[in-house]
Amino acid sequence: MPRKKRRGRPPGSKNKPSLTKSVASMDVAQLRNYISGLQDTLAAKVQQQREYFESQLAGLRVYADNKAGAAVRTIMRVPSTRKRAPAKPKYQSKKDKRQKWSGRGLMPVWMREEMKGTKLTKDDFLIK
């Protein structure tokens, strides 16, 4: 046989008596005990929160120290003032021996003009 569906609140969820009525009916000793219990509970909650936030803060300090240390190391590092040594020439003109090229960068105009219309290659201009 199917059960009848209940309407309203589920069992066990009856209206609890309001706090003001129960506090109003307490005598002074009961109120002091109630307040001291609340203070203990509050102190425990505050301590929990404090421990949580202090652990979070400690983690942030480690993170900030790492970042600050990296920034200081970057700033304190002496920039390299050493320059690259000038490249020694590898190629020389066949017509004008004073014109030389190291082989870096674009091919010079004099080399292109000397190679134009001839069978000369870049290897033909190598300094021996």
Instruction: List the one residue out of 126, 125, 97 whose CA is nearest residue 111.
Output: 125
User: Structure pTM?
Assistant: 0.38
Residue 63 lies in a domain: yes
* 69 lies in the same domain as 30: yes
Domain count, the chain: 2
Token digits of residue 97: 């021996």
pLDDT in tens, 40-87: 999 999 999 999 999 999 988 888 888 888 877 777 777 777 788 889
Domain holding 119, by residue range, is 91-125
* 63 lies in the same domain as 100: no
Count CB neighbours of 125 within 10 A: 22
* 71 lies in the same domain as 33: yes
Residue 109 lies in a domain: yes
